[in-house]
Amino acid sequence: MSDLGFDWRTNRQGEVAITHHGTRATRLRGDKAIEFLSEIDDLTPDDQQQLMARLTGNYKRGNEKLARSHPRNAR
């Protein structure tokens, strides 16, 4: 199991706050919050972590090695 450090909670207004290692990473409101809440319960804990990583933009894209060798990033 890969715990990436994400957690979530809702407030009375129906907003969803996603935190990463205790720091708020994003807040979902309206339709996005409703969609998240309907989807999160059906996922495994690993998939929940991946979903929250995608929603916050905090995830590896698989191209880090390739980008490191790009001429624009060469120093």
- pLDDT tens digits, residue range 30-73? 999 999 999 999 999 999 998 998 898 866 555 556 666 677 76
* pLDDT at position 62: 56
pTM over 0.85: no
Per-domain residue ranges of the chain: 6-73
Strands (E), the chain: 6-10, 16-20, 23-28
Instruction: Return the amino acid letter for 16.
Output: V
Tell me which residue has tokens 């490191």.
Answer: 68
User: Closest Cα partner for 56 from 5, 11, 12?
Assistant: 5
- Judged against a pLDDT cut of 60, whether residue 23 lies above it is answered with yes
Q: Cα–Cα distance between 12 and 29 in angstroms, integer?
A: 12
**Between these two residues, 1 and 53, which has the higher pLDDT value?**
53
